[in-house]
Structure 1
Amino acid sequence: MTLVRTTARERMVLARDASRQIGLLGDDKKASLLRAIADAIEADAAAIVAANADDLARGERDGLAPGLLDRLRLDEARVGALAGAVRDAAALPDPVGRVLDERVIAGGVTLTKVSVPLGVVGSIYEARPNVTVDIAALALRSGNAVVLRGGTAAAASNAELVRVMREALAAEGVDPEAIQTLDDEGRDGARELMHARGLIDVLVPRGSAQLIETVVTESTVPVIETGAGVVHIFLDETARADWAADIAVNAKAQRPSVCNSVETILVHRDAAERLIPDVAAALAAAGVTIHGDETVGALAPGVVPATEADWATEYLTLDVAMKVVDDLDDALAHIRTYSTHHTESILTADEANAERFLAEVDSAVVMVNASTRFTDGGEFGFGAEVGISTQKLHARGPMGLPELTSTKWLARGAGQVRA
């Protein structure tokens, strides 16, 4: 299927029109759509990987950072994982039509509050072709159309993925205009999307702090803010040494380019001599550079002296900041100052400290004795995620199907008038 050349606004109007059909589809049909998309992605995996190779080659020529190249990369295994995430979303319960409240008001009118699709979901994101599939699949499963602006770095990959998904919709007898891309419009397309009030019901940015800030401040469309991940782990006085090393390495080195990777490790002063040498050695063995304060530098070799900027840095590389704090209160104060309210974890055997940490840390996800890498829609059982919201309105944390719905009150009467 060839995309007809239209303006950004015309495509958004087409998405709005298609959203009416998508919003009326039943559970079984929406699930079958996603299974068809998953099958099509697998069937065209070679073409998708070839298009991605073009993006990677261009990114390397343009000096794209290693972390962004990793986010951009699609191989056979990652394409298979994309299809698997779509099938997982297909198997989830339909979020539309849930009865959220029922009551009978004065005069005998019956009220029912139900979940309904948002309508048209827009997203602006960078160098993440997996987001193209994740957001489209979740939008369709929740009865929404979607308009995507995925960035020039992934232009070839995104174009191929959008083509595959639109053809799958058409083959299922569903309007393919429910999936739109504005990638070819460049920055003008992003601006049109941010100002398409009345055509786009909600806009979800994913990417750098600068991109998110631009979308939040410039949009006239309602925005669900996803945030940068200045993520913390606090090693409390009673933290187990083996857990501390294993979790620190997993949280930093398994995939450093993602927003749930740890960026700052705080260590209780009374545990510094016990924990820092082994944790630092494990991180160094995984290729991680530690930016540490004076105490950390005295306890581990090869530490780069930390500056004030390090505490606020989302590295997205094999770098981590490490600081010794006096106690739990000091750790909480540091997190309040530098956190982006994404994910924080405490490693401790002290139940009271664990409960204090859970209660007092104001982040979307707060953990005890676990790697921050678990903050993920797939790990949370959502199949995929639209993003990880760090705001407090409507949605917070990994966003799945329910976060792409709104509500409607249904009133059923029998001739009543208000007294």
Structure 2
Amino acid sequence: MEFLNEIGRNAKEAARIAAKMNSSEKNHILKICSKAVLENTAYILSENKKDIEEAEKNNMKPSLIDRLMLNEKRLDAIASAMEDIAKLDDPIGEVLSMKKLENGLTIGQKRVPMGVIGIIYESRPNVTADSFSLCLKAGSAVILKGGKDAINSNKAITDTFRDALSKNNYPVNLIQLIEDNKRETTVEFMKMSDYLNVLIPRGSKGLIEAVVKNSTVPVIETGTGNCHIFVDETADLERAVEIIINAKVQRPGVCNACEKVLVHEKISEIFLPKLTKALKEENVQIRGDEILCRICPDALHAMEEDWHEEYLDLIIGIKTVKDVDEAISHIYKYSSGHSEAILTNDYKNSQKFLEEVDSAAVYVNASTRFTDGFEFGLGAEIGISTQKLHARGPMGLKELTSTKYIIYGNGQIRK
């Protein structure tokens, strides 16, 4: 597809310019684009309204409409995040090591831009701004392929940035959006190895699997979030209810929301009535094992597939376990490797959980909702990686860079 080749050529040219920008230039771009978001609030919201109306017409579930929706508060947050990223240390040029060899060569390693970064994502227009901001600060150009559900919102935000870049004599192709929503276009984008240095999918399990299967470009997987909270027998039960309600209810359609709760069997008779009462008050549908369904007769019996499921909705699975070891074994079998938490006052069990649970983020006595680039002090995130190569957990600026060796000599030749 020639138009994709043109987008790729434009991005490579813009990436060369971005790589040479100093911190002041990149920060200035972030600030003028942040200001442009606020100045174009009415326009962006009017375009977002089109997406919301279409989503409602297509009976999209409320938790996913919430991910799609923009309002003045969320646009203010987008603009503020861009300002925050401008304040972060520039990773480019950081020297990671330097040593002198016996032959007199001085060899070091420093952080450099990726080049052209591709992002494929679904239904979250804030990703458009986050991706551009982080990729720019990391010295790269970005090509975006958003989902059709958010096409009007994504176009409005991208146009706002490109207009601000043009008015200030910066390359508009630092950010490009592929507007064609045909499946074959998306698949072809995944194969643009002549132009893309890395491809990052953000979205459903199906999207991520499709990218991994079809891409000829190196992929950083941002995984789904089948997140667990284990309530140990020594946990503060009142606080445990508060933490679980926060983790499940605050924004049920996001990947760091709690999907499963494991409860120590010794406290099940006391704790489960408290928890289920609070969940029902928040209109959460409860699915559980036999013990949970006996204590809460109106709960649904969980099926095997429930333990694998990322609901992204006001639904939760609850299971009793005999101890921390069974909780860890259950998580090992069913977790997507995103975020897990233990609620306990037993130091030994908390350390065991931290050591043995193999997920990107593991908590003691806190909500899983904190797994987020902004909350971790990264300014924003490009996604949350659940793989182990190169980057893991919330991916900020440093995770969007590569490295190269730099070698100083004085005439050495290899013998």
Contact in 2 for aligned 1:348/1:369 (Cα 8 Å): yes
- Which residue number corresponds to residue 311 of structure 2? 315
- Which residue number corresponds to residue 37 of structure 1? 33
Q: Tell me how many residue pairs correspond in the alignment.
A: 415
Secondary structure of 1:243's aligned partner: helix
- Which residue number corresponds to residue 179 of structure 1? 175
- 1:411 is aligned, of 383, 407, 411, to 407
State the Cα distance separating 1:188 from its structure 2 match: 2.9
Secondary structure of 2:182's aligned partner: helix
- Which residue number corresponds to residue 243 of structure 1? 239
Contact in 2 for aligned 1:151/1:183 (Cα 8 Å): no
State the Cα distance separating 1:320 from its structure 2 match: 0.3
What is the alpha-carbon distance in structure 1 between the residues aligned to residue 109 and residue 398 of structure 2? 14
State the Cα distance separating 1:183 from its structure 2 match: 2.3
Q: Tell me the amino acid that sits aligned with residue 40 of structure 1.
A: A
CA-to-aligned-CA distance 1:221-251 (integer Å, 9 cap, x gap): 0000011110000001111111110001000
- Which residue number corresponds to residue 391 of structure 2? 395
Matched, 1:61 2:57: yes
- 2:86 is aligned, of 41, 66, 90, to 90
State the Cα distance separating 1:63 from its structure 2 match: 2.1
Contact in 2 for aligned 1:166/1:176 (Cα 8 Å): yes
- Which residue number corresponds to residue 294 of structure 2? 298
- 2:220 is aligned, of 217, 224, 227, to 224
- Which residue number corresponds to residue 285 of structure 1? 281
- Which residue number corresponds to residue 151 of structure 1? 147
Matched, 1:133 2:111: no
Q: Tell me the amino acid that sits aligned with residue 89 of structure 2.
A: P
Secondary structure of 1:228's aligned partner: coil
- Which residue number corresponds to residue 121 of structure 1? 117
- Which residue number corresponds to residue 261 of structure 1? 257
Secondary structure of 1:183's aligned partner: coil
Which 5+ residue runs of structure 1 have no aligned equivalent? none
Contact in 1 for aligned 2:147/2:181 (Cα 8 Å): no
What is the alpha-carbon distance in structure 2 between the residues aligned to residue 145 and residue 183 of structure 1? 17
- 1:109 is aligned, of 105, 108, 111, to 105
- Which residue number corresponds to residue 72 of structure 1? 68
Contact in 2 for aligned 1:293/1:323 (Cα 8 Å): yes
What is the alpha-carbon distance in structure 1 between the residues aligned to residue 185 and residue 90 of structure 2? 31
What is the alpha-carbon distance in structure 2 between the residues aligned to residue 93 and residue 156 of structure 1? 33
CA-to-aligned-CA distance 1:258-301 (integer Å, 9 cap, x gap): 00000000001011112111111111111211111111122235
- Which residue number corresponds to residue 324 of structure 1? 320
Secondary structure of 2:362's aligned partner: strand
Question: Between the two proteins, what is the percent identity of the paired residues?
Answer: 47
What is the alpha-carbon distance in structure 2 between the residues aligned to residue 186 and residue 163 of structure 1? 21
What is the alpha-carbon distance in structure 1 between the residues aligned to residue 181 and residue 191 of structure 2? 14
What is the alpha-carbon distance in structure 1 between the residues aligned to residue 153 and residue 327 of structure 2? 42
What is the alpha-carbon distance in structure 2 between the residues aligned to residue 145 and residue 36 of structure 1? 17
Contact in 2 for aligned 1:9/1:192 (Cα 8 Å): no
- 1:350 is aligned, of 334, 346, 353, to 346
Which 5+ residue runs of structure 2 have no aligned equivalent? none
Q: Over aligned residues, Cα RMSD in angstroms? A: 1.2
Contact in 2 for aligned 1:72/1:128 (Cα 8 Å): yes
TM-score (norm 2): 0.98
Q: Tell me the amino acid that sits aligned with residue 70 of structure 2.
A: L
Matched, 1:359 2:372: no
- Which residue number corresponds to residue 160 of structure 2? 164
- Which residue number corresponds to residue 379 of structure 1? 375
- Which residue number corresponds to residue 197 of structure 1? 193
State the Cα distance separating 1:415 from its structure 2 match: 1.2
Q: Tell me the amino acid that sits aligned with residue 206 of structure 1.
A: R
After TM superposition, which residue ranges in structure 1, 4 or more long, deviate above 3 angstroms? none
Contact in 1 for aligned 2:341/2:368 (Cα 8 Å): yes
- Which residue number corresponds to residue 9 of structure 2? 13
CA change 1:293–1:192 in 2 (3 A) is same
State the Cα distance separating 1:336 from its structure 2 match: 0.7
Q: Tell me the amino acid that sits aligned with residue 228 of structure 1.
A: T
State the Cα distance separating 1:35 from its structure 2 match: 0.9
TM-score (norm 1): 0.97
